[in-house]
Amino acid sequence: MDPISNRLSFRLTLAAFTGWLIVIAGLWVAMRGLDEHSAAAIFLGRFHILIVHVPIGLLSAALIFEVLGMSGWFPKLSESVLPCLWLGALGSMGATIAGYLLMAGEQLEGKDMGLHMWTGLGVVVLATLCLYAKLARISPLVMSVLLLVTVGLTGASSHFGGNMVHDNDYLSEYAPDPLKPLLGHPAPKESLVADISFEEWPIYDRIVQPIFDSKCTECHDENKIEGGLRMDSFAALAEGGDLVKDGDIPGEFVAGKSKESEIIIRVTMDPSEDDFMPPGKREHMTPEEVSLVAWWINQGASPSMTVAQAKPDASVTPLLDELRSRHAK
């Protein structure tokens, strides 16, 4: 590359990175005050899932081409590294912009969301640095190490993003036991006491929370928090989501009044309504599960009340008898 073209490439790289920073900062300022979902942001943001494959593939290809070119086996492949880095860096910028739109539009929070966002931003910085390094013609060995770190961070970002779509153990579920901790396999939940009688069961821990775990926590646990709401523990549920914090509703549940509780309202409204939960094609609560949760709320929504302490309710008596029968087996 001649000196003039090289200087132009440096300037274009700096311009692209500066433009990306301005766009990201502008989106942060414009969307940090959103108090409801933004259809436009979600529409554009969902292209993230398409764009994100560009940097994953091209940055990985750049690493492979750099190593093979350095090895002397395929020296011509070194000429393909720079185009891969250009497209990989630009693709990572586009993916983070679309990803931010999706995150802000759907008001997503959570541990995995945060890790996915920051590692994704880190990929842009490293990909741009790789591009600068290639233009500066640093040694192939240093270039290979820098690309290896970039591809590693890209893989980590992809993993955290995948955790928000699939269960946290999707990648590690069938891995050999020694590898599971390295792949972030979640530690098993503390087992509940198995030798107590059914009547001694705490209603929340043994009946209500398992329903939430199967139908709600995919979008409402510490890793992915939609609407500011977590439902993976009683304490988190009692704290409420954004509607509670903004004063729009008194709480996710109103002790003794299931029909006034947001949890019940959201799962019993017409499924065609936007606020129906869970949205889309996710598995909905069954009428029996809704009855059990409503019964718990009507009994006072206590985190410690046992089956024996609760008052009989004809609507759930057959369901409790079925649970009692299963427990006895």
C-alpha distances in angstroms, 211 versus 273, 285, 316? 22, 8, 15
177 within a domain of the structure (yes/no): no
184 within a domain of the structure (yes/no): no
Portion of the chain with pLDDT greater than 90, in percent = 38
215 and 277: one domain?
A: yes
15 and 68: one domain?
A: yes
Of residues 300 and 185, the one with the higher pLDDT is 300
77 within a domain of the structure (yes/no): yes
Helix, strand, coil tally for the chain in percent (to 5): 65, 0, 35
241 within a domain of the structure (yes/no): yes
Strand ranges for 85-145 from DSSP E = 108-109
The span from the CA of 178 to the CA of 324, in Å, is 38
211 and 151: one domain?
A: no
Query: Do 62 and 85 meet the contact criterion of CB atoms below 8 Å apart?
Result: yes
Query: Do 260 and 186 meet the contact criterion of CB atoms below 8 Å apart?
Result: no
129 and 258: one domain?
A: no
Q: What is the pLDDT of residues 231-276, one digit of tens each?
A: 888 998 888 888 887 778 888 888 888 888 988 998 888 888 877 8
Query: Do 232 and 221 meet the contact criterion of CB atoms below 8 Å apart?
Result: yes
97 and 34: one domain?
A: yes
DSSP code at position 166: S
10 within a domain of the structure (yes/no): yes
Average pLDDT, the chain: 86
Query: Do 77 and 65 meet the contact criterion of CB atoms below 8 Å apart?
Result: yes
Predicted local distance difference test score (pLDDT) of residue 243: 82
C-alpha distances in angstroms, 1 versus 5, 70, 169, 207? 6, 19, 47, 68
234 and 281: one domain?
A: yes
- Domain containing residue 289: 198-328
Complete DSSP assignment for 23-82: HHHHHHHHHTT--S--HHHHHHHTTHHHHTHHHHHHHHHHHHHHHHHHHTSSGGGGGGHH
Query: Do 278 and 271 meet the contact criterion of CB atoms below 8 Å apart?
Result: no
257 and 124: one domain?
A: no
215 and 131: one domain?
A: no
- From its phi and psi, is residue 188 left (phi > 0), alpha (psi between -120 and 50) or beta? beta
Domain-ending residue, one of 165, 186, 208: 165
Shortest CA distance to 264 belongs to which of 294, 296, 295? 294
7 within a domain of the structure (yes/no): yes
24 and 124: one domain?
A: yes
Of residues 201 and 110, the one with the higher pLDDT is 201
The span from the CA of 52 to the CA of 116, in Å, is 12
193 within a domain of the structure (yes/no): no
Inform me whether the pLDDT recorded for 112 exceeds 90: no
Q: What is the pLDDT of residues 123-171, one digit of tens each?
A: 999 999 999 999 998 888 999 999 999 999 999 999 888 877 776 666 7
Inform me whether the pLDDT recorded for 285 exceeds 60: yes
139 and 9: one domain?
A: yes
150 and 260: one domain?
A: no
Domain count, the chain: 2
Highest mean pLDDT among 84-98, 222-236, 292-306: 84-98
The span from the CA of 83 to the CA of 92, in Å, is 14
Domain-ending residue, one of 165, 180, 210: 165
151 and 259: one domain?
A: no
